[in-house]
Chain A
Amino acid sequence: DAGVIQSPRHEVTEMGQEVTLRCKPISGHNSLFWYRQTMMRGLELLIYFNNNVPIDDSGMPEDRFSAKMPNASFSTLKIQPSEPRDSAVYFCASSRAGEGAKNIQYFGAGTRLSVL
């Protein structure tokens, strides 16, 4: 399996622009997570989906952030408009729910976002 695939790996944009990050989870996994990592705050959960349905979006910082999962093999995280404080590494992770202690989350390589 190719693992969790994220694109792009790096994104540099100007303040005010729309940014879309993409994630393809591991085939057969039914839980998907978006995280943000910064030096100040470490890893933070933004949102997680179970069976394509958003279960917990309490970590989404504000209305500028939105996430969708139109099907089991694709998710997007969108920031509109972007701000310099959104600069961070964004990780997507997936897991197979229902296996008790075995439902390890597998992480993608991350998208490094720089908003100028």
Chain B
Amino acid sequence: KNEVEQSPQNLTAQEGEFITINCSYSVGISALHWLQQHPGGGIVSLFMLSSGKKKHGRLIATINIQEKHSSLHITASHPRDSAVYICAVRSPGTYKYIFGTGTRLKVLA
């Protein structure tokens, strides 16, 4: 069993839909990071969370430390949101990330 599990693995949505991507982890962490990888391959940092909730534009990320779970929400999805979304957790006292396998999102116009 992977230490970081994401669901779903693949997701197809219609433009405008509300999207939720989930990340569950089984290790102690100091922070959780959501990354976005575009079809061209570049990786962009979206959020880093250690508690609570963060919002940036149409993106919202939440984390529940007790339940070892985080969600990434996209409101009013758009085709340009099509990408792979990767959850990564950082072990306490280190800079090492443990990565999820990613969720491939496709938003249709």
Chain A interface residues (CB < 8 Å from chain B): 31, 33, 42-45, 48, 50, 56, 89, 91, 95, 97, 101-107, 109-110, 112
Chain B interface residues (CB < 8 Å from chain A): 30-31, 33, 35, 41-45, 48, 50, 86, 88, 94-97, 99-102
Q: A43-B86, A104-B33, A105-B33 are in contact. Are A110 and B43 (CB under 8 A)?
A: yes
Q: Chain A: interface secondary structure?
A: strand
- Asked if A45 contacts B45 (CB within 8 A), the reply is no
Indicate which residue in B45, B95, B101 contacts A42 across the interface (CB closer than 8 Å).
B101
Chain A residues with CB under 8 Å of B100's CB are 42
Provide the bound-state CA to CA distance between A95 and B55, in Å: 22
- Asked if A95 contacts B95 (CB within 8 A), the reply is yes
A-B contact count (CB 8 A): 48
Provide the bound-state CA to CA distance between A106 and B41, in Å: 14
From residue A53, how far is it (CB to closest CB) to chain B in Å? 13
Chain B residues with CB under 8 Å of A107's CB are 35, 42-45
From residue A73, how far is it (CB to closest CB) to chain B in Å? 19
